[in-house]
């Protein structure tokens, strides 16, 4: 294989990787639970940006049970948002892994170190 062509391909893939990472940095997903009583916003990188709990999720008559219910709803909303982040990351980064033949560059181990799911 032509070394110049290989280097050019590697540079193109690096640029595509940077663009995909920037897109993930700017992206935001929202997970919900309890029919929208709890909403969690995550960045495309999976970092929690905001949590909103509707007052209807809180039962003042039973504070202890209400606290546990809210905790469960928050956890479920985070998991929902994380699943969406994973899907978004796969959409943005998956084609790059396929460009590497799914197993990395020739002579290198598969996957892309430091990038979840690849």
Average pLDDT on 1-9 reads 84
In sequence order, the β-bridge partners of residue 39 are 32, 52
Q: Does residue 42 register a pLDDT over 90?
A: yes
73, 53 Cβ separation under 8 angstroms: yes
CATH 3.30.1310.10 assigned to 24-100: yes
Average pLDDT on 80-104 reads 77
Q: Would you state the pLDDT for residue 80?
A: 96
- What percent of the chain has pLDDT above 70? 81
Taking only the tens place, the pLDDT of each residue in 43-54 is 988 899 999 999
| pLDDT mean across residues, the chain | 83
Half-sphere exposure of 34 (CA within 13 A, CB side): 22
Q: Would you state the pLDDT for residue 90?
A: 86
How far is residue 107's CA from residue 99's CA, in Å, rounded to a whole number?
Answer: 15
Angle formed at CA 35 by CA 31 and CA 41, multiple of 5 degrees: 20
Q: What are the backbone dihedrals phi and psi of residue 116, each rounded to the nearest 5 degrees, phi first?
A: -55, 140
- Does this model's pTM top 0.75? My answer is no
Task: Please report, for the chain, the start and end positions of each structural domain, with discontinuous segments joined by +.
Answer: 24-100
């Amino acid at each position: 294989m032509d070394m110049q062509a290989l280097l050019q391909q590697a540079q193109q893939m690096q640029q595509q990787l940077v663009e995909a990472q920037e897109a993930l940095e700017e992206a935001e997903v929202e997970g919900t639970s309890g029919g929208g009583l709890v909403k969690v916003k995550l960045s495309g990188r999976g970092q929690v940006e905001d949590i909103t709990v509707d007052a209807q999720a809180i039962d003042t008559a039973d504070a202890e049970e209400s606290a546990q219910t809210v905790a469960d709803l928050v956890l479920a909303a985070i998991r929902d948002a994380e699943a969406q982040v994973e899907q978004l990351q796969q959409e943005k980064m998956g084609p790059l892994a396929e460009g590497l033949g799914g197993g990395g560059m020739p002579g290198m181990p598969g996957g892309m170190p430091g990038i979840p799911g690849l």
